[in-house]
Amino acid sequence: MSLLHGFQALPRELHQEIVKWTKTPDVLPLALVSKSFNEDFEQILYRTIVLRDVMRIQQFCRAIDSNSDRRHRQRRNQIKHIAFVLPMPVCIPSASRILSMCDKIIDIFVLGGDAAFLHDAGKLLEKRAGQMQVSRLSADVLELCNYHQGLKADWLPGPFPNFLSRLTHLSVRSEVYNHGWVEWAGLAALPALTHLAFQVWGGQPAPVQLLEGALAHCASLRVLILFHPRDREGYDHIGIRDERFSMNVCADAIGAWVNNCRGDKEFWG
């Protein structure tokens, strides 16, 4: 999977830091956004943590526990962005340890995983909800096909309702909605959802009915973005009817979000 393919929904700051600290983006070897954390900690490590490799996460926890000087204690409170990237459920204890150090987190992002992990992640976030402030709780549903249910009208309450009840930003892949795993009624059942993105790949058609259904029935929705690999022809009418809608062609999403699109500034504003 390409890093750019999988992380278009990330805030620009987090995306740039992941690219910066990853030697080969297309391989997606995301550990802790650091090539060598055995050396003195860089401040970036405390602003962005990507949870991927269980052993490295445990190393990270041991390292920060062993550094009790004032500088490291201060940096623990600087953690602002956390991304859970296709982790296994066994990383939950370490994730809990890291979250316990955070007073105010801007973003928590979940990419993929399986139903068991998201269930545990939901319980973890629910447990910590009263102890920290989270501005954005985001998910990319690349792996919804593994849940065998999807975002449908009868899906909630599902196996991890706590996580979904707090979800504010959601990115949906074309293979998910084209196989019927997501419906606008399921999206409308997410009470905190304010930002929604659909990613269309491989020349597949845009889900116009799904887009219009989400705009019509998601009461809390403020921004809806469509990523399309071709051009805007045939979909501009959605934007004309509803100012919440914005469309970005593939070059916009992978590049610098140009061509007068609202892009990440609107999606993460």
* pLDDT higher at 6 or 239: 239
Average pLDDT, the chain: 59
Reading the block at residue 243, the tokens are: 């100012």
Q: What is the pLDDT of residue 155?
A: 44
pLDDT in tens, 191-230: 888 888 787 766 677 788 888 888 888 889 888 877 766 6
Spatial distance between the Cα atoms of 210 and 53, rounded to a whole number of angstroms: 36
- The per-residue pLDDT for range 28-66, each reduced to its tens digit, is 233 333 333 333 333 333 344 555 555 555 665 666 566
| Joined tokens for residue 200 | 């269309």
Dig out the tokens for 64 from the structure: 């920060």
SS3 182: strand
| Sign of the dihedral defined by the CA atoms of residues 120, 92, 125, 167, in that order | negative
Q: Judge whether 218 and 186 are in contact, CB under 8 Å.
A: no
Q: How many helices (H) and strands (E) would you count in the chain?
A: 14, 8
135 pLDDT exceeds 80? no
Give 93's Cβ-side CA count (13 Å radius). 6
Q: Give Cα separations from 142 to 19, 148, 168, 182 (angstroms).
A: 20, 13, 17, 12
Comparing CA positions, the residue from 150, 220, 152 lying closest to residue 185 is: 152
For residue 214 the two structure tokens come to 């989400």
**pLDDT above 70 coverage of the chain, percent:** 22
What's the pLDDT tens digit per position in 170-179? 777 666 666 6
DSSP label of 25: G
Q: Measured in Å, how far apart are the chain's first and last C-alpha atoms?
A: 27
% of residues, the chain, pLDDT over 90:
0
* Average pLDDT estimate for 233-238: 65
Q: Which of 65-74, 204-213, 258-267 has the highest mean pLDDT?
A: 204-213
| Distance (Å, whole) CA 180 – CA 174 | 10
